[in-house]
Amino acid sequence: MLDILKEITTFVFDVDGVMTDGSVYVTETGEQFRQFNIKDGYAVQLAVKLGYNVAAISGSRSKISLHRLNSLGVKDVYIGAHTKTENFKIYLEEKHIKPLNVMYMGDDIPDLEVMKLAGIAVCPADAAEEIKAVCSYVSPFVGGRGCVRDVIEKVLKVQQKWLGAQAYTW
């Protein structure tokens, strides 16, 4: 398992249920809000600064997600994605990335097919059972509560790019 983490150059995340806890707060005027985890955000921006490719593919059309990810340095954000596999393939082709080098984190049925294309599929602890069944790793953290940080940190530690990194096992 650790050998494949050495090959990861790219992180691709679903948003709702992975980078958020899946809750959508709606005001009386119809505005929608989502909550992101600051520790997940730290790991995302660190991965970007270290030169990793980071992308997000979401079925939601939430511009809040777009703004949050852009503020972390993530420029490749696909919102309103009806077919995540299509966006995934386009992203890899445009960036000249091999699927083997990609870690994809998803949590629900719309992520299932795209997860099968990635070098390694991972998910939060509260992912759908069908998703857990195709994953190489299930984070002990639930969506929006540190699962993104967990997987990024593991990759960076294995690649000796995390502060004080040491050999890490799952």
- The Cβ of residue 92 has, within 10 Å, a number of other Cβ atoms equal to 20
Could you say which DSSP state residue 135 is in? -
Tell whether 16 is in a known binding site.
yes
Helix, strand or coil, per DSSP, at residue 140 = coil
Tell whether 107 is in a known binding site.
yes
User: From CA 11, how far away is CA 120, in angstroms rounded?
Assistant: 10
Q: Which two tokens stand for residue 169?
A: 């096992």
Residues contacting residue 67 through CB under 8 Å, at least 6 positions apart: none
Tell whether 150 is in a known binding site.
no
Tally the C-alpha atoms within 13 A of residue 49's C-alpha that lie toward its C-beta. Answer: 10
Q: By C-alpha distance, which of 159, 163, 112, 167 is closest to 5?
A: 159
Backbone φ and ψ for 49, nearest 5 degrees, come out as -60, -30
User: From CA 38, how far away is CA 42, in angstroms rounded?
Assistant: 6
Amino acid sitting at position 114: V
Q: Which residues are annotated as a binding site for substrate?
A: 16
Binding region: 14, 16, 107
Which parts are annotated binding residues for Mg(2+)?
14, 107
